Structure 1
Amino acid sequence: MEIYWLKRILYEGRIEVKKVTSYTIFTLILLFLNGCNLNNDEVNNGRADNSQNNNDSVRVEENNKEGKEATEPELNPFGNQKDKSQIMESNILQYIHWMSHQKVKADDKWGFFEITDERIEWLLDAIDETEYLEKAEEYKDILNRWKDGNFSDVVNDHNYVWEILGGEKESQKATEILSESKEKEYIENTEQIDETYKDAEASN
């Protein structure tokens, strides 16, 4: 009888051990899965934070760029702040004068702007928008010929505006058209006028 009860106790004990072991394994599995979920949440949160930080950085850069663009004045093709409606006759004359230096020979030349389509078009528009120009048609005639690539009369064009600007020194008077090689050399070796934030000044 004692042997019977002893066997029964041992048998039931093994069952309890199996139950405890099963519960333990089940609990460990739950803890592991929960830990994985927590890690995934942390990773996702980290990604979300990084994405937010990146978006914030992009917005800051865009705002800085917009602010910079808003503070920088818009310049005309000659590097001047004046728009077409603010241009004066002296500005028009001087711009034509300085551009003509690219094409003509003179013993003494000061001031240079390279002739470009953009500058020619801008001046033509400015002349149309500027009132009370005494010689508007003459200026437009010069610029329209240049626009068409016709510089056959550029010596007279230079001397015409030069005299209006008060030119008197013979050394500053244009005498002939530069050859292509001399023109190229002049463009490459002559610094253009720095008109940034300045008004064009009438000067010989």
Structure 2
Amino acid sequence: MYSPILVIHIIAGFLALGSSFVAVYTKLVTDRHQLHLYSGRLFCWAMTIVFVTSIALTLLKPNLFLFVIAIFSYYLTFHGWRLALNRKGEAKFWDKTAAWVMIATSIVMIGTGGWFQLQGNGFGPVLVLFGLIGGLTAGQNLREFAAGPVKGKDRISGHLGAMLGATIAAITAFVVTNIQSDPAWIAWIAPTIIITPLIVYSKRKIEGKTGRKSKKQTKD
């Protein structure tokens, strides 16, 4: 069972990686809406398969590290996908549930990462960093849900930020599989350090100077 699932996981990972580049390029560079839409859908479905197969693989060969990383990666995809589909911007049950699952997972990630660090395990910093990112992101999403419908520029900005975060996850999976670093955690966090400024720039470009005020001025 393990090998066939692993093959599917790898194929889906390559599809996610390729489609993510197309989706980002067509949105930030060429602004080709239809191609962005199709490549974005392919990315989301590919990441869904990656997530499902990741959970299956970690159940067949228990690995807490990969299990929580899979949840972290897919939360970003799920949240970004939901913002793309939910044009009314009203948070549903699954939106809030996913955020709380991510917060609970982030607590496990930070605690496990701290324990790994005490044990001299090089993956400790990775879990702590991703746990902080996941927890803070989910917490911010819950605050936005409580503030009212996420619409207009805020919805687009949130979608772009989440999808770029999920893209980092896809790139990270490729990097750690094909590139060795010493210490090992460098390969895990390098894509985050390199691409995060692009996320900040892109979100600010979309939001402009209005931020959440855009909800009062923009009808989606």
TM over 0.5: no
Point out the structure with max Rg over C-alpha: 1
Q: Per residue, is there more helix in 1 or in 2?
A: 2
Q: TM-score, normalised by structure 2?
A: 0.29
